[in-house]
């Protein structure tokens, strides 16, 4: 009777939905909700993201034609929504398709708040999966199968190939036609890696309290803010001697350029341990420098790209320092969420934290 009452109250709460509709999802997906709550998806709004807020305020004259809220806070109807659920669970799981556009892409929603899309390889051919129970031990033990609160569709290809992310994470062109996001710069569209496999890897823990599963898709979004080092496995690094010194060879296994987003900055640091001393070489920066009238400018005002040192499929960086027998060379690849120059230009508070270098990959080589 208690279980039936709880189920009834839950269904009623789902039907009416609270101001923070994700709280309803939390009831059956507590682990996923906890990850989401600490993700950039939950912190994407003007209320939570200081960089976005600073850019919006400084560049609003150049981006008013862009509907920034369509991606940064599509679920926010109130200030509480903007703080707690700017991009809700329901929003992402009701993206039916992506409408491609020259300026930017758009998400096409199903409009059905109790009919969700998701991915699970062994159920890929199933559609409109509904709730059911299975019994064992002569009916003494009953287990839930699927959800009693919403239907699930497993056959939307967008949730397998990563295209579901491309409504917001593909490209945004400024008024002069320059892409300031640059995540649609595919290296190989047949690459086995996708947005989902890289940034939402399977991690330990059941995806729902209704049934046991060993793993679930990580909803904290691995990358810039969380689990940065987990993405290092998609970067191969090698070092080879040359007549003048050595070359660091980087191979990018992702299907987009690294560090292409506006204000982002990758960094390569190389050090040599020799006879008990450490020799630090000059860091190499991976970034795009935007410009206007042949001078560096903020991205939304730019009419040209003055310099591009990003990592596409491959990148070789040459050094003129001779290596000696017994040297240990350490290669560090990291990034800054926002470059120091951009943080200064935007007058960002707490800029030291925002410009702190985070680790993607560290590897050592003996000579």
- The predicted pLDDT at position 4 comes to 43
Of residues 166 and 22, more confidently modeled: 166
Which pLDDT score, from 0 to 100, does residue 71 have?
95
Q: What is the mean pLDDT of residues 47-66?
A: 78
Q: What is the pLDDT of residues 222-264, one digit of tens each?
A: 998 999 999 999 999 999 999 999 999 999 998 899 999 989 9
Chain mean pLDDT for the chain = 87
The residue that leads in pLDDT, 286 or 7, is 286
The pLDDT of 36-51, averaged and rounded, is 95
Q: For position 226, what pLDDT does the model report? A: 93
User: Has residue 1 got a pLDDT over 90?
Assistant: no
Which pLDDT score, from 0 to 100, does residue 89 have?
Answer: 95
**Domain range summary for the chain, segments of one domain joined by +:** 1-92, 228-366
| C-alpha distances in Å from residue 94, one per residue of 149, 176, 274, 333 | 15, 33, 57, 37
Instruction: Identify the residue with better confidence: 150 or 218.
Output: 218
Please, which pLDDT band fits residue 60 given cuts at 50, 70 and 90? low
Is a pLDDT exceeding 60 seen at residue 342?
yes
The pLDDT of residue 7 is 44
SS3 percent helix, strand, coil of the chain, rounded to 5, is: 25, 30, 45
Which residue pairs from 31-37 have beta carbons closer than 8 angstroms and sit at least 24 positions apart in sequence? 31/205, 31/206, 31/207, 31/216, 32/207, 32/216, 32/217, 32/219, 33/89, 33/219, 35/218, 35/219, 35/220, 36/89, 36/219, 36/220
Q: 228-366, what's its fold?
A: Immunoglobulin-like (2.60.40)
Tokens of 211: 């049934």
pLDDT of residue 11: 46
Q: What is the pLDDT of residue 351?
A: 87
Q: Give 199's contacts (C-beta < 8 A, 6+ positions apart).
A: 165, 221, 222, 223, 231
Q: d(Cα 269, Cα 280) in Å, to the nearest integer?
A: 8
Q: Closest Cα partner for 224 from 274, 261, 276?
A: 261
What is the per-residue pLDDT for 300?
85
pLDDT for residue 145: 64
Quick check: 61 pLDDT over 80?
A: no
- In contact, 285 and 212? CB cutoff 8 Å: no
pLDDT at residue 154 tops 60: yes
Q: Where is pLDDT greater, at 22 or 84?
A: 84
- pLDDT at 116 (0 to 100): 93
In 3D space, the residue among 50, 9, 39 whose CA is nearest the CA of residue 263 turns out to be: 50
Q: 115: exposed, middle or buried (C-beta count within 10 Å: 0-12, 13-18, 19+)?
A: middle
Residue range 26-31: average pLDDT?
Answer: 94
What is the percentage of the chain residues whose pLDDT exceeds 90? 66
State the average pLDDT over residues 154-162.
Answer: 92
* Average of per-residue pLDDT across 99-127: 91
* Radius of gyration of the chain from its Cα atoms, rounded to whole angstroms: 24
pLDDT number for residue 210: 84
What pLDDT sits at residue 138? 54
Q: In whole angstroms, what is the distance from residue 312 CA to residue 126 CA? A: 37
- 341: its two tokens: 């120059």
pLDDT band per the 50, 70, 90 thresholds, residue 135: low
pLDDT in tens, 173-212: 988 888 988 887 655 667 778 899 999 999 999 999 988 8
- DSSP type of residue 323: P
Q: Residues 279-292: what's their mean pLDDT? A: 96
pTM reported for the whole predicted model: 0.86
Query: Residue 127 above 80 pLDDT?
Result: no
Percent of the chain with pLDDT over 70: 87
């Amino acid at each position: 009777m208690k279980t039936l009452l709880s189920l009834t109250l839950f269904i009623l709460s789902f039907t009416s939905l609270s101001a923070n509709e994700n709280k309803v999802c939390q009831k059956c997906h507590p682990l996923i909700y906890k990850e989401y709550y600490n993700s950039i998806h939950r912190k994407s709004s003007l209320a939570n993201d200081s960089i976005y807020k600073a850019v919006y305020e400084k560049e609003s004259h150049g981006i008013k034609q862009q509907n920034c809220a369509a991606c940064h806070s599509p679920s926010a109807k109130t200030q509480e929504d903007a703080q707690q659920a700017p991009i809700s669970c329901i929003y992402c799981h009701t993206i039916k398709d992506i409408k491609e556009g020259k300026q930017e892409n758009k998400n096409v929603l199903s409009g059905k708040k109790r009919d969700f899309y998701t991915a699970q390889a062994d159920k890929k051919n199933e559609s409109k999966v509904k709730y059911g129970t299975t019994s064992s031990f002569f009916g003494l033990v009953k287990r839930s199968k699927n959800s009693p609160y919403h239907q699930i569709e497993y056959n939307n290809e967008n949730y397998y190939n990563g295209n579901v992310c491309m409504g917001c994470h593909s490209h945004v062109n400024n008024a002069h036609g320059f892409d300031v996001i640059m995540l649609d710069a595919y290296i190989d569209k047949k690459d086995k890696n996708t947005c989902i496999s890289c940034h939402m890897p399977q991690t330990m823990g059941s995806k729902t309290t209704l049934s046991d599963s060993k793993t679930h898709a990580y909803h904290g979004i691995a990358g810039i803010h969380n689990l940065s080092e987990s993405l290092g496995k998609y970067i191969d690094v090698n070092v080879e001697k040359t007549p003048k010194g050595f070359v660091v060879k980087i191979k990018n296994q992702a299907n987009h350029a690294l560090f292409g987003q506006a204000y982002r900055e990758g960094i390569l640091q190389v050090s040599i341990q020799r006879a008990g001393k450490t020799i630090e070489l000059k860091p190499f920066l991976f970034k795009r420098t935007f410009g206007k009238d042949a001078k560096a400018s903020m991205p939304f005002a730019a009419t040209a790209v003055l310099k591009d040192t990003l990592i596409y499929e491959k990148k070789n960086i040459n050094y003129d320092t001779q290596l000696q027998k017994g040297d240990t060379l350490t290669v560090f690849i990291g990034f800054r969420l926002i470059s120091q120059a951009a943080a200064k230009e935007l007058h960002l508070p707490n800029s030291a934290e925002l410009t702190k270098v985070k680790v993607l990959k560290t590897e050592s080589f003996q000579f």
